[in-house]
Amino acid sequence: MKYDVAHRRIWLKGEILDVNDAKVNVLSPTSQFGLNVFEGIPCYWNEETNQLYAFRLSDHYDRLIRSAKLIQFDLKYTKDDFKKALVDTVKANEYDENLSVRQTLFVDGFGSWGSEGPVEMFVAPIPRGRTSAEYNKKGLNCCVTSWRRISDENLSPRIKCGANYINSRVGQREALRNGYDTCIFLNEVGKVAEGPGSCFFMVKGDTLVTPRLTDSVLESITRDTIICLAKEELGLKVEERTIDRTELYLADEAFLCGSAMEITPIYTIDRYEVDSGEQGEITKRLHLTYLDCVRGKLANRMDWLTPIY
Ligand code: PMP
């Protein structure tokens, strides 16, 4: 049977439970200090093959392991264990729609922020319907937030840990307070970094430009996917380079991207219109190609897909 969202099945410490029974102690370091690392793994339903595909699962797990290493978690799980937990959880819910699967390693117990463990895991699917991915979705009005992105010298954005999202939060809250949809962060040296939960791309002429991985950004899997698809499927030039703030205002097209938001066009930045204030041609072509890719419709990209059923 398929469970309703309020009773969906969650994997916690080796057991599959009703979400209401999946409990974590309030004094645990994950609860008190955001001491966890996690992934949001997109899964797409393909109606033609009646199959659910996890997108770039192995790459998500590699990043999870890198995050765990940097934050010094001892792992009792292997990549195979990660995968089995995800597959078992999705199957337990019998999902036949798009999902974002939250897979989190966290420090449980009664310790402090310096605790070594115990490191535990949960897997929680977030159902997203079958049609989350339309390509002419509304664009974003962004500001450049006055907060700076965290840097590798204090709390590295390379680590996908819960605590990092408090930096995202202050930028996002400022944007909403001031009437924008979201924000773009500059890094500590004042160059463009990323969105609060997304990477930034702009189009200049026939070139796609995005900040370097050393400009204070998460090593985004969508970013990497877009770079590959742009070069290999669409024949575009791609530059990974430092971007000045004023370049934002002169972009021909711009978008934010991530596993959850896919490719979402930006209409304005600090009220400067980007292009004509609509979704640009290159952004649209990239988004369509991206959707074909994640749904298993690009024959030469099937190695990025893991069938669940
Ligand atoms: N940057 C940040 C800060 C994020 O939270 C995310 C979403 N995980 C991204 C970029 C995009 O990463 P990915 O493409 O791997 O989802």
> In angstroms, what is the C-alpha Rg of the chain?
19
Residue that has been written with the tokens 């970013």 in this structure: 223
In a domain? residue 304 = no
Q: Are residues 103 and 138 located together in one domain of the fold?
A: no
Q: Are residues 150 and 118 located together in one domain of the fold?
A: no
Ligand 1 neighbour 194 (Cβ under 6 A)? yes
Q: Are residues 106 and 26 located together in one domain of the fold?
A: yes
**What are the C-alpha distances in Å from 124 to residues 103, 178, 275, 304?**
6, 33, 39, 22
**Tokens matching residue 121:** 């895991």
Q: Are residues 277 and 148 located together in one domain of the fold?
A: yes
Residue that has been written with the tokens 């115990």 in this structure: 118
Q: Cβ atoms within 10 A of the Cβ of 180, count?
A: 21
Range of 80's domain?
Answer: 3-125
In a domain? residue 303 = no
Q: What's the domain count of the chain? A: 2
The pLDDT of residue 277: 66
Contacts of 204 (CB under 8 A, 6+ apart): 247, 250, 251, 252
pLDDT tens track, the chain, 309 positions: 578 899 999 999 999 999 999 999 999 999 999 999 999 999 999 989 999 999 999 999 999 999 999 999 999 999 999 999 999 999 999 999 999 999 999 999 999 999 988 999 999 999 998 875 555 568 999 999 999 999 999 999 999 999 999 999 999 999 999 999 999 999 999 999 999 999 999 999 999 999 999 999 999 999 999 999 999 999 999 999 999 999 999 999 999 999 999 999 999 999 999 977 677 899 999 999 999 999 999 999 999 999 999
Q: Are residues 115 and 153 located together in one domain of the fold?
A: no
Ligand 1 neighbour 258 (Cβ under 6 A)? yes
The pLDDT of residue 226: 98
Give the atom of ligand 1 at the shortest distance from the alpha carbon of 42. Answer: 16
Q: Are residues 277 and 140 located together in one domain of the fold?
A: yes
* ipTM for this model: 0.99
Taking CA atoms only, the protein residue closest to ligand 1 atom 1 is 198
The domain that holds 120 is classified in CATH as 3.30.470.10
Cβ–Cβ under 8 Å, residues 295 and 44: yes
Catalytic residue IDs: 160
The pLDDT of residue 117: 87
Q: Are residues 76 and 152 located together in one domain of the fold?
A: no
The domain that holds 196 is classified in CATH as 3.20.10.10
**Pairing mode of beta strands 140-148, 262-269:** parallel
Helical segments of the chain, H only: 29-33, 57-70, 79-93, 165-177, 221-232, 245-249, 281-294
Q: How far is the CA of 1 from the centre of ligand 1 (A)?
A: 33
Which residue from 222, 29, 4, 221 is spatially nearest to 125, judged by alpha carbons?
A: 4
**C-alpha torsion sign, points 148, 181, 143, 40:** positive
Last residue of a domain, one of 98, 125, 152: 125
In a domain? residue 307 = no
Q: Are residues 155 and 223 located together in one domain of the fold?
A: yes
| pTM for the structure as a whole | 0.96
In a domain? residue 306 = no
Taking CA atoms only, the protein residue closest to ligand 1 atom 5 is 197
Last residue of a domain, one of 125, 143, 166: 125
Q: How far is the CA of 160 from the centre of ligand 1 (A)?
A: 8
Q: Are residues 82 and 176 located together in one domain of the fold?
A: no
The pLDDT of residue 297: 92
Taking CA atoms only, the protein residue closest to ligand 1 atom 4 is 197
Ligand 1 neighbour 28 (Cβ under 6 A)? no
Q: Are residues 179 and 54 located together in one domain of the fold?
A: no
Q: How far is the CA of 246 from the centre of ligand 1 (A)?
A: 24
Using CA atoms, how far apart are residues 117 and 103, in angstroms rounded to an integer? 17
Q: Are residues 108 and 174 located together in one domain of the fold?
A: no
Q: Are residues 87 and 167 located together in one domain of the fold?
A: no
Which residue from 87, 153, 155, 75 is spatially nearest to 121, judged by alpha carbons?
A: 75
| One-letter amino acid for residue 113 of the chain | W
Last residue of a domain, one of 72, 97, 125: 125
